[in-house]
């Protein structure tokens, strides 16, 4: 559950990241706790058709490119909210 307005602020962060080419990656937290400099982490799982955050940002914030949209929307790991956002952008064309 998000605090009221959190989703809008998060969307603003994503858009700012895109404007400054500050693409990164997101991790799913499996167990809460402290993380310190130098701690190791292990990749537990990866989708077969994963796409980069850079490609998702390109689809979301740059002019429409059919091949980019198609690749992102076919990705099995795409977060449902991002898929909805991209479909809305596609339908608004």
Domain of 47?
6-91
Residue 10 is assigned to a structural domain of this protein: yes
In a domain, 54, yes or no: yes
For residue 37, being part of any structural domain is answered with yes
Q: What separation, in Å, do the N-terminal and C-terminal C-alpha atoms of the chain show?
A: 31
Instruction: Please list the ranges in the chain whose pLDDT falls under 70.
Output: 1-28
Domain-embedded: residue 19: yes
Residue 87 has a pLDDT of 93
Instruction: Specify if 17 maps to a domain.
Output: yes
Contact call for residues 77 and 55 (beta carbons, < 8 A): no
Residue 52: what pLDDT? Answer: 82
CA 14 – CA 53 distance, rounded (Å): 10
In the chain, the number of structural domains is: 1
Kindly report, residue by residue over 64-83, the tens digit of the pLDDT: 899 999 999 999 888 888 89
Does some domain include residue 87? yes
- Residue 56's pLDDT is 87
Cα 19 to its chain centre, rounded Å, is 15
Question: What pLDDT does 77 receive?
Answer: 80
pLDDT of residue 69: 92
**Any residues with CB less than 8 A from the CB of 65 and at least 6 apart, and which?**
58, 59
Length of the chain: 93
pTM over 0.75: no
Residue 1: inside a domain = no
- Given a contact cutoff of 8 angstroms between Cβ atoms, the answer to whether 23 and 52 are in contact is yes
């Amino acid at each position: 559950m998000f605090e009221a307005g959190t989703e809008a602020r998060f969307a603003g962060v994503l858009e700012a990241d895109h404007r400054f080419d500050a693409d990164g990656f997101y991790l799913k937290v499996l167990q809460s706790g402290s993380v310190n400099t130098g701690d190791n982490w292990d990749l537990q799982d990866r989708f077969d058709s994963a796409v980069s955050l850079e490609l998702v940002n390109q689809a979301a914030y740059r002019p429409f490119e059919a091949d980019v949209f198609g690749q992102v929307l076919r990705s099995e790991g795409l977060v449902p909210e991002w898929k909805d956002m991209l479909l809305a952008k596609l339908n608004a064309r």
